Amino acid sequence: MNTITTAQAAQFLMEHDDFLILTHVRPDGDTIGCAAGLCHALRRAGKTAHVLENPGATSLFTGYLEGLTTPNGEGNRTVVSVDIAARSLFPDNAQVFLDRVDLAIDHHPSQEFFARATCLNSGKASCGEVVLEVVKEFTSLTPDIGRALYVALSTDCGCFQYSNTDAAAHRAAAELMETGFDPYPINRVHFRTKTFKRLKLEGLLAQGMELRDNGATALVFLTQRMIQELGADERDMDNISAFVGQVEGVKNGVTLKETAGGHVKISLRTDPGDLNASAVCALLGGGGHAAASGAMMKGTVEAVRQAVIDAIEQVRNG
């Protein structure tokens, strides 16, 4: 693997042109915000840059990419991925670039080093902060860059509420806010507003919630039947895995979401002092961070539920 510093990443970007920026499958605020922020910064530095369209981007995020996307990578020569930790996280339309990524910018400890060069800072709460460090090496910040990277940072640390939030995250937020964009509408949309269907979905999750370990562990179940009866779409279910962790006394929250294809997506958020989420999900074929990890398994929700409970037991007793 070839890891490079933020200064080296900036130098690489300045020595190249015609950029195509890739985001990960089921895109969240961090990958979208990073792509938008980097694209704005590269254009400001006089470069040609586009973000590859991500078909999975919901209306919550597509606005940040307005005027920045391209439907395909033709004619683009320099490929940069942002917030993509693994080959399995490339969207379908980005598969063609699997072995053609020139630079990966990331913050995941589980980074697979699929790119020719990787700028990784796993100490950062968000990839947005890594992109911020890179961007500052070659241009000054604008409100557009500030807004995009604020979306990346704030969504990945739950608006400064998650355990990954550190002093550096707050300092980065201050620096971004000083570019002059208005963060309030962003906070309102991403942290204070829910769709009607989302509220109904949360109601169903609350009613089906299973509490274990004297209330320290909670499991919620999101089935295809619930999704179809409500007519809920991806946006209604965005970041649904954070829901279960709200319950008073719950340290470890498990969300099991049945996919249309007969798989169950496991999402585990833990108090890392109590349980290492990454270790549990590794036993289930997945991975991630100590406080937030995931895995995907084939089978019924009931079977996967038992597998998750067993994996938690195994990590606790191991």
What six digits make up the tokens of 97? 């670039």
d(CA 218, CA 291): 15
Q: Which two tokens stand for residue 170?
A: 């707050």
Q: How far is the CB of 196 from a second copy (least distance, A)?
A: 5
Least Å distance between CB 131 and a second copy?
Answer: 18
Question: Is 101 exposed, middle or buried (CB count within 10 Å of its CB: 0-12, 13-18, 19+)?
Answer: buried
Helix axes of 127-136 and 167-177: crossing angle, nearest 10 degrees: 50
Alpha-carbon distances, residue 240 vs 84, 221, 243, 247, 269 (angstroms): 20, 11, 5, 14, 11
Q: What is d(CA 109, CA 284) in angstroms, rounded to the nearest whole number?
A: 18
**Cα Rg of the chain (Å, integer):** 19
Q: In this structure, are residues 22 and 52 in contact, taking their beta carbons and an 8 Å threshold?
A: yes
Question: Least Å distance between CB 287 and a second copy?
Answer: 22
Q: Nearer Cβ to a second copy, position 273 or 285?
A: 273
Site of interaction with a second copy (CB under 8 A): 154, 158-163, 165-168, 170-171, 173-175, 177-178, 183-184, 187-188, 191-196, 199-200, 202-207, 209, 211, 215, 245-249
89 Cβ neighbours under 8 A, 6+ residues apart? 24, 25
Q: Which is nearer to a second copy, 39 or 250 (CB)?
A: 250
Give the residue with the Cβ less far from a second copy, 17 or 175: 175
Residues β-bridged to residue 49: 19
Question: Is 197 or 263 the residue whose CB approaches a second copy more closely?
Answer: 197
Closer of 86 and 177 to a second copy (Cβ): 177
CB of 267 to a second copy, least distance (A): 16
Strands 78-82, 19-22: parallel, antiparallel or unpaired by DSSP? parallel
Angle value at C-alpha 80, between 133 and 122, nearest 5 degrees: 45
**Whole-angstrom Cα distance, residue 111 to residue 117?**
12
What are residue 287's phi and psi, to 5 degrees? 180, -170
CB of 171 to a second copy, least distance (A): 5
> Min. distance of Cβ 172 from a second copy in angstroms?
8
CB of 245 to a second copy, least distance (A): 7
Two tokens at 244? 């279960």
In the complex with a second copy, the residue whose CB is nearer, 66 or 196, is 196
Q: How far is the CB of 43 from a second copy (least distance, A)?
A: 25
**Closer CB to a second copy, residue 158 or residue 287?**
158
Comparison of 69 and 270: residue with beta carbon closer to a second copy: 270
